[in-house]
Amino acid sequence: MPATPPFLFPPILPIRHGMLAVDALHTIYWEEVGNPNGIPVIFLHGGPGAGLSPQHRRFFDPAVYRVILFDQRGAGKSTPLGEWKNNTTQLLIDDIERLRVMFHVERWLVFGGSWGSTLALAYGQAHPERCLGFVLRGIFLCTRAEVEFFLYGVQWFYPELYDDFVSPIPPEERGDLLQAYARRLLCDDPRQYWPAARAWSRFEGRRVFLLPQEEEGSSDTLDLGVGRLEAHYMAHGAFLDEGQLLRDLPRIAHLPAVIVQGRYDVICPPLSAYRLHQAWPGSRLHMIADAGHGALETGIARALVAATEQFKRHGRFE
CA nearest to 39, candidates 59, 13, 53: 59
Q: Return the amino acid letter for 34.
A: G
Cβ atoms within 10 Å, residue 161: 18
Q: Return the amino acid letter for 278.
A: Q
94 contact partners, CB below 8 Å, separation of at least 6: 22
Give the three-state DSSP class for 76: coil
Q: Quote the CA–CA distance of 257 and 135 in Å, as a whole number.
A: 6
Which residue blocks in the chain are alpha helix, DSSP H?
89-102, 115-126, 144-151, 159-166, 177-185, 190-205, 220-235, 244-247, 270-279, 298-314
Q: Cα–chain-centroid distance for residue 62?
A: 22
Catalytic-role residue among 26, 56, 114, 201 = 114
CA atoms within 13 A on the CB side of 72: 32
114 given a catalytic annotation: yes
CA atoms within 13 A on the CB side of 304: 29
Catalytic-role residue among 71, 95, 265, 277 = 265
265 given a catalytic annotation: yes
220-235 vs 177-185: helix crossing angle, rounded to 10? 130
**β-strands 65-70, 27-34: how paired?**
antiparallel
Cβ atoms within 10 Å, residue 24: 7
Q: Active-site positions?
A: 114, 265, 293
